[in-house]
């Protein structure tokens, strides 16, 4: 690859990084607004998330097209190729997080229509952890920080446990009359959406590990367990 082509590719990659960060910042804000809209029972705040999702969808499409164009025109190899493939996967995870924020915002609209009904679950700690994981995964992407990416992966179990606690609370609530089942199910599903946001943040961190090391970290824990059992 000539120096001129290498410089052009470098500029394209820097532009990709900038666009991923812009998309990531928008998605982070939507998650924050969606969770806040539930606690504040604010339908206007929820509407900002729902209406703004079209911009996230378009940004995801534009970024994917740019990645495909770079692959076709520059035919990158080694770390540059891993980087672009990683960006495409991160791009998809960010779009999915945006969709999950919309799901939470739609539940916020439902909660706003029941101003005097109890909000039975405390999403605060779970939402804070999921948002922190998302931010840290994007920071690890910016800095290609393998350690920070592994830290994000380690936190996923915390969110899973918090969701399990809320699930137990949900089971107790549905056995306590009157159950108001439809609203209760929607509110419980917020914990599921937050868990999925944390999962996607973990995916982003795993993609960063792949960018840096060339190793696929996904399912690594399960594979390690299987290898250990096979050795016994």
Range of the domain at 185: 3-231
Q: How confident is the model at residue 230 (pLDDT cuts 50, 70, 90)?
A: very low
pLDDT at 174: 80
pLDDT at 228: 38
* Helical H segments across the chain, by residue range: 3-40, 43-74, 78-112, 124-143, 146-174, 181-213, 220-231
Distances (CA, A) of 118 to 39, 111, 115, 123, 176: 11, 9, 8, 13, 13
Decide which of 174 and 129 is more confident.
129
Q: Where is average pLDDT lowest: 8-12, 72-76, 172-176?
A: 172-176
CATH number for 159 = 1.20.58.220
Give per-residue pLDDT as tens, 80-123.
999 999 999 999 999 999 999 999 999 999 888 887 777 888 89
Q: What is the mean pLDDT of residues 46-72?
A: 96
Q: What is the mean pLDDT of residues 159-168?
A: 94
DSSP type of residue 216: -
Distance from C-alpha of 108 to C-alpha of 121, rounded to nearest angstrom: 13
Distance from C-alpha of 188 to C-alpha of 56, rounded to nearest angstrom: 26
pLDDT at 218: 72
pLDDT at 121: 87
Q: How confident is the model at residue 178 (pLDDT cuts 50, 70, 90)?
A: low
Give per-residue pLDDT as tens, 29-48.
999 999 999 989 999 999 99
Task: Report the number of distinct structural domains present in the chain.
Answer: 1
What percent of the chain is predicted at pLDDT more than 90?
A: 70
Task: Answer whether residue 227 shows pLDDT above 70.
Answer: no
Sign of CA dihedral 27, 29, 32, 35: negative
């Amino acid at each position: 690859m000539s120096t001129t082509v290498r410089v052009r590719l470098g500029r394209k990659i820097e532009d990709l990084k900038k666009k991923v960060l812009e998309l990531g910042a928008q998605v982070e804000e939507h998650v924050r607004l969606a969770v806040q809209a539930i606690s504040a029972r604010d339908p206007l705040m929820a509407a900002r998330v729902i209406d703004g999702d079209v911009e996230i969808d378009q940004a995801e499409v534009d970024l994917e097209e740019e990645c495909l164009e770079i692959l076709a025109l520059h035919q990158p190899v080694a770390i540059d190729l891993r980087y672009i493939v990683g960006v495409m996967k991160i791009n998809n995870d960010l779009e999915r997080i945006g969709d999950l924020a919309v799901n939470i915002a739609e539940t916020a609209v439902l909660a706003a229509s029941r101003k005097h009904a109890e909000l039975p679950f405390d999403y605060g700690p779970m939402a804070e952890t999921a948002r922190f994981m998302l931010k840290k995964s994007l920071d690890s992407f910016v800095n290609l920080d393998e350690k920070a990416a592994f830290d994000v992966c380690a936190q996923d179990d915390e969110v899973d446990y918090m969701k399990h606690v809320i699930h137990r609370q949900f089971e107790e609530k549905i056995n306590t009359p009157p159950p108001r089942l439809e609203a209760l199910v929607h509110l419980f599903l917020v914990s599921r959406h937050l868990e999925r946001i944390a999962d996607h943040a973990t995916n982003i961190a795993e993609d960063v590990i792949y960018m840096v090391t060339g190793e696929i970290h996904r399912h690594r824990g399960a594979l390690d367990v299987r290898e250990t059992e096979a050795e016994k």
